[in-house]
Amino acid sequence: MSDTILSMRSITKTFPGVKALSDVNLEVLRGEIHAICGENGAGKSTLMKVLSGVYPYGDYEGEISFDGEPCRFGGIRDSEHRGIVIIHQELALASNLSIAENIFLGNEQATRGFIDWNKTNAAAAGLLRRVGLDENPVTQVLDLGVGKQQLVEIAKALSKEVRLLILDEPTAALNDEDSAHLLDLLRGLRDQGITCVIISHKLNEVLAIADTVTILRDGRTIFSKPTTELTEDKIISGMVGRDLDHRFPPHDPQVGEEVFRIEDWTVHSPTQHGRLLVDKANLTLRRGEIVGLAGLMGAGRTELAMSVFGRAYGANISGRIFKDGQEIRLRSVREAIKHGIAYATEDRKRYGLNLIEDIKRNISAAALGRLARRGWVDDNEEYRIADGYRTSMNIKAPSVSSITGKLSGGNQQKVVLSKWIFTDPDVLILDEPTRGIDVGAKYEIYTIINGLADQGKAVLVISSELPELLGICDRIYTLSAGRITGEVPRAEATQEGLMTLMTAGQEAGE
Amino acid sequence: MSLAPTNADLAVDPAAAGADSGSGGRRRFSINLRQSGIYIAFALIVLLFTVLTGGDMLAPQNISNIIVQNSYILILAIGMILVIIAGHIDLSVGSVVAACGAVSGVLMVENHMAWPLALVLTLVFGAVIGAWQGYWVAYFGIPAFIVTLAGMLLFRAITLTILGNRGIGPFPDAVRTLSNGFTDGYLGNVGLGVLGGADLFSVLIGVIAVAGIVVTQWRTRAGRVRYGQAVDALPVFIAKIVVAAVVVLFVVVQLARFRNLPWVLVLLAGLVLGYTLLANRSVFGRQIYAVGGNLQAATLSGVKVKSIVFWIFVNMGVLSALAGVIFAGRLNQANPTAGNQFELDAIAAAFIGGAAVQGGVGKVVGAITGGLIMGVINNGMSLIGATTEQVMLVKGAVLLAAVAFDVWTKRRAGASR
């Protein structure tokens, strides 16, 4: 067979009290694209941190050899010196600096101690051509979208004479078009002889681009196989250790009468004057019904939801909201909660949780008044309520006095859902409720959503994953460029049909 | 579209889940250390100076002095800890103390207004100052650092406008008693064996305070047990109560042997109790922590963020006014340079007492302890004849060390993730 560029043998990495990696092996061939798949906590990031020297030699057991030579990296600089560059999921760009400055950050193009800007910008321009990014090198990074920032990161890696490029969830934040471009670029780099390791959860992408797939589970290597021998189902069963016949819990909807309706809902951008984010949207929710809202990134899904939720986002909002047939005005989040509306954000760490506070205080945060008499909180009652949710929602934590920042994504999401359920809402808007949580926890979240519907609540689920919407929703709206372009009952919905509606009118809109 | 689990959550280190359970024992220990470290440090500092001063540190008169001399800083620290928990800062309190002292002087001394009315009007004046700053911070969105830096100059300017270059005094006896005076011997003296005579009323108050601590702590514990919550093991619980009781009784007895209870101590005890309850148990107090912990999450949970921040500054203004009156009463003069650098002491007290720079963390009792640490260092070092620059040096080092310790324990907790 062709030669091995990277070989990691019997890697074991122990944190106090836990083995994060246990005897992991990874063989990467020269010039291939190698995908690493695994659930949250499977050890993927830890393995890459071992490889890139974040955990220095001596901090782990096992052998690494790169290009036939053994490696004992003391830090990231050592691994980069050998041509191993890692691009993290959270991009590490200084947004106030220009593209060229970012590319050569820490590697400044200087002549006699002074930065040579002509040299810097010319070299940057050359690298941008290689990654297919048509931007001026002096443009500030904050003016670029996420997709373009990702390309700048790759250009930065290329400037370091990269030989092994590691990408951690490169397409997680990208829309389909940018993802496709990125994957094309990776193929191009492979043809130029750069080996790539990508960590990804998007199995369709993995199958489309990777030559070899290695599966990690619970800190162990499960298998490493050529992509040609694999299917999505095989990868999933390798990741979770079981066959996923039932990704979605069965649900028999009991749909009642209308509980919530918006008419001609129009929202403008708070930052860009006159830009329309949501354009005369109409939407109806009924009791006991789970309704999906599908749309590509930038379609205005979150903007629609947050503007409805007490004008938490957007400017120049117009339109009418009806609750139980009565028109209501929601001028603040407080009023929205009082009217039985709940909105669980897509970004739970930034907008959903107080990460330095414990579980019980997060759960009570949106309805503290329910626990209080004359302004004084009954903290025993708070504990009891929170502990009830810990049990019923299966929040895995030693107690409700555990700090939320230390929980896994799935458990954090359950805390967020508990918080909103405790406000006793009639309408729940769940924005990307399963983003960033592993397969098992997703199933639990779906079960919770079904339970909410069974209690007669209306649930609006916003999601980027069409299979998820198809799996749990009774009805799906599609949103494209701020306009509702379709309303499809579950029985008639297909991925292709929804995608057509989600892209409808985009060209006309521009 | 992907059929796969999209996992955007790799920022959470895979070791997190396991480490939580695995290193639970050590983590609990370090959390305890972080929470109780301040009290242990306080005890050690008191012990150190007691040894260095050959016991003078804990002499009846000296304990009384420490309380009276630091009362206004402690009052400011209570307001400051709330401001800092909410994620803000107030640099203007020293100037507000001066301005309010000046206003009270004009009302009480120059206009011979009845002192209770003048006190209330001064507190209202402090509230107006707080509202002014709260408006710019909360509703206009200017960082508190800037608003209160401006306030520092503005209110000093107002002070100088009111007072010119002179002081106003003397203050009414009632105000001086509040700042400097002691409770009367209402019930006569009681003999305490080798300790000699002590004021019976003061001792009784101390005993009642201890009884109050025991009863409330026991009821809290019983309530938690009833709800199946984790509580301290009984011996630990009893040990804590005994330590608290001994400390309270010791201080009270020493004071009773000297000149009875300082009125400011009574006032301070009331403030500490009230604000501790406010911070822990009231909806308003809880929401301060929510705002400081994650502003966006609090906003999206329906917390009236702006109103909370506004009222916190109003509260700071009122407490600054109170400190201003007490300070003026203590000097028996409203002075244009009053309150100089008080803001630094109050801020240092809050941070030494365990507040986090990012907000969301802090305790009223912690800030008081932080303030007392500074006070004990001031007092102890002057007792052993240290120079001003030496005191400054030590206080600076203590502040840095306290925050460094906090950052270190946090990082250690983070590293085990």
pLDDT in tens, B377-389: 999 999 999 999 9
Q: Cα A488 vs. chain centroid, distance in angstroms?
A: 26
A350–B8 C-beta distance less than 8 A:
no
pLDDT of residue B413: 63
Digit-coded pLDDT (tens) for B15-36? 333 333 333 344 444 445 666 7
What's the pLDDT band for A150 if we cut at 50, 70, 90? confident
CATH architecture of B37-45+62-181+262-415: Orthogonal Bundle (1.10)
User: What is the pLDDT at residue A340?
Assistant: 95
Q: In angstroms, what separates the C-alpha of B394 from chain A's closest C-alpha?
A: 31
Could you give the CA distance from residue B156 to residue B121 in angstroms, rounded to a whole number?
A: 19
Given a cut of 90, whether residue A205 has pLDDT beyond it is no
Beta strands A427-431 and A458-463: pairing type? parallel
- Check whether B328 has a pLDDT greater than 80: yes
CB contact under 8 A, B19 and A15: yes
The set of residues, in sequence order, having a beta carbon less than 8 Å from that of B235 and lying 6+ positions away, is none
> Contact at 8 Å (CB) between B397 and B348?
no
Compute the mean pLDDT over every residue in chain A, rounded to the nearest whole number: 87
What is the rounded CA–CA span in Å between residue B207 and residue B204? 5
State the average pLDDT over residues A201-225: 87
CATH 1.10.3470 domain span(s) along chain B? 37-45+62-181+262-415
Residues ≥6 apart with Cβ < 8 Å to A37: A44, A199, A200, A201, A203, A206, A213, A214, A215, A216, A235, A238, A239
Whether residue A440 is predicted with pLDDT greater than 90 in this model: the reply is no
Handedness of CA A352, A357, A358, A361 (dihedral sign): negative
CB nearest to B13's CB, from A46, A236, A364: A46
At A300 the pLDDT is: 86
Give the model's pLDDT for residue A107: 80
Calculate mean pLDDT across residues B9-19.
Answer: 35
User: Which among A63, A83, A85 has a CA at the least distance from the CA of A72?
Assistant: A63
Distance from CA of A437 to the nearest CA of B (A): 6
Which of B4, B19, B226 is nearest residue A236 as measured by Cβ atoms? B4
Mean pLDDT of A256-270: 92
Q: Report which secondary-structure segment, H or E, holds A480.
A: strand A475-480
Q: What percent of chain A has pLDDT over 90?
A: 42
Which of A44, A239, A353 shows the shortest C-beta gap to B297? A353
Report the candidate in A232, A292, A294, A302 with the shortest Cα–Cα distance to residue A464. A294
B296 contacts in chain A (CB < 8 Å)? 350-351
When comparing pLDDT for A452 and A149, which is higher? A452
pLDDT of residue B196: 79
Q: Do B294 and A355 touch (CB under 8 A)?
A: yes
pLDDT at B32 (0 to 100): 59
Chain A partners of B7 at a C-beta cutoff of 8 Å? 39-40, 169, 172, 201, 436-438
Give me the interface pTM, i.e. the ipTM: 0.83
Question: Is A202 within 8 Å of B6 when comparing Cβ atoms?
Answer: yes
pLDDT score of A40 = 62
User: Which region among A128-132, B25-29, B60-64, B350-354 has the lowest average model confidence (pLDDT)?
Assistant: B25-29
Whole-angstrom distance, CA of residue A418 vs CA of residue A388: 10
Q: What is the pLDDT of residue B357?
A: 84
Indicate the pLDDT class of residue B371, thresholds 50, 70 and 90: very high
pLDDT at A434: 87
* More reliable by pLDDT, A497 or B289: B289
With contact defined as beta carbons under 8 Å apart, do B312 and B88 qualify? yes
B162 and B106 in contact (C-beta within 8 Å)? yes
CA atoms within 13 A on the CB side of B65: 13
Among A331-340, A432-441, A450-459, B253-262, the least confident range? A432-441
Q: Which residues of B touch A168 (CB under 8 A)?
A: 10
**Chains A and B: how many Cβ contacts under 8 Å?**
216
Q: Does residue B13 surpass a pLDDT of 50? A: no
Q: What is the pLDDT of residues B103-154, one digit of tens each?
A: 999 999 999 999 999 999 999 999 999 999 999 999 999 999 999 999 999 9
Provide, as residue numbers in chain A, all residues whose Cβ is less than 8 Å from the Cβ of B24.
17, 398
Nearest residue on chain B to A90, judged by CA atoms? B11
Higher-pLDDT residue of A274 and A289 is A289
The answer on pLDDT for A39 being more than 80 is no
Predicted pLDDT of residue A497: 84
Question: Per-residue pLDDT tens for B240-250?
Answer: 999 999 999 99
Q: Which of B413, B399, B298 is nearest to B357 (CA)?
A: B399
pTM for the model: 0.79
A20: which chain B residues are within 8 Å (Cβ-Cβ)?
13-15, 18
DSSP-derived pairing of the beta strands A458-463 and A290-295: parallel
The per-residue pLDDT of chain B, averaged, comes to 87
Average pLDDT rounded to a whole number, residues B295-323: 96
Instruction: Tell me how close the Cα of B259 comes to any Cα of chain A, in angstroms.
Output: 38
pLDDT digits (tens, 9 = 90+) for B62-112: 999 999 999 999 999 999 999 999 999 999 999 999 999 999 999 999 999
Option in A43, A310, A383 nearest B229 (CB):
A383
- When mean pLDDT is compared across A137-146, A420-429, B3-12, the lowest value belongs to B3-12
Q: Is the model more confident about B416 or about A213?
A: A213
What are the Cα distances from residue A266, in Å, to A279, A300, A459, A510? 5, 11, 21, 18
CA-to-CA dists, residue A402 to A396, A415, B279, angstroms: 10, 11, 20
The answer to whether the CB of A48 falls within 8 A of the CB of A68 is no
Handedness of CA B128, B134, B139, B140 (dihedral sign): positive
| Mean pLDDT value of segment A70-79 | 88
User: Do residues A157 and A85 touch, judged by C-beta distance below 8 A?
Assistant: yes
Using an 8 Å CB-CB cutoff, list chain A residues near B10. Answer: 40, 44-45, 89, 168-169, 199
Residue A161 has pLDDT above 80, yes or no: yes
Q: Provide mean pLDDT across the span A82-89.
A: 87
What domains lie within chain A, and their CATH numbers? 4-240 (3.40.50.300), 258-340+427-437+457-510 (3.40.50.300), 349-424 (no CATH)
Q: Would you call B10 and A44 a contact, using CB atoms and an 8 Å cutoff?
A: yes
pLDDT beyond 60 at A257: yes
Question: pLDDT band for position A289 (50/70/90)?
Answer: very high
Q: Which residue would you say has higher pLDDT here, B29 or A213?
A: A213
- Specify whether the CB–CB gap between B160 and B338 falls below 8 A: no
Count other Cβ atoms within 10 Å, centred on residue A129.
Answer: 11
